[in-house]
Amino acid sequence: MACAEFEDLLADYAELSGESRLRVDAHAATCADCQEFLDALHAVDATLAAQFAGREVSAGFGQAVRRRVQRKTAVRRPSFIPELLDFVGWSAIIAVIAFTLYWASALIPISNEAAKAFNANAGWAVAAAFLLVSFLIGLHSFVELKY
């Protein structure tokens, strides 16, 4: 066995500073066990480098991946369904509120004919405004698609 004192230094031989390397070399020159350990390290290094260095994928790797990726179709795009539901939901809520307000206004007794006509027009105006707002909310939702 190599001398315990030198074994760690020998294992890091390639990284030793000049002075440490001289000390290790001087010792290894007189110690057969340490010289053997150093030779074994060199053999291990050479063998592992020959075995593993420069490993690359096989020639058809890229094509094989591309074939598999094509089968998987494109990148999944986000669904439009949540945005569509947003649009429909807000439209429904706002339409219900608008028509409720319209029918409620029709129940209020108004004697003057001009006031009645104004009230009816105002009802339609409110309904139209609500529908417009619901449309804008839906549109905003479409624009803000999250990728």
Q: Which residues bind another protein (CB under 8 A)?
A: 1-2, 7-8, 11-12, 33, 36-37, 39-41, 43-45, 47-58, 61-62, 64-66, 68-69, 72, 74-77, 147
Closest CB to another protein among 44 and 128? 44
Instruction: Provide the residue type at 37 as one letter.
Output: F
Give the residue with the Cβ less far from another protein, 12 or 25. 12
Closest approach, Cβ 81 to another protein, in A, equals 17
Q: Which of 98, 96, 116 is nearest to 106 (CA)?
A: 116
Please check whether residue 92 is in contact with residue 133, taking contact to mean a CB–CB distance below 8 angstroms.
no
- Nearest of 6, 8, 1 to residue 26 by alpha carbon: 6
Three-state secondary-structure class, residue 59: coil
Q: Give 10 or 127: the residue with its C-beta nearer to another protein.
A: 10
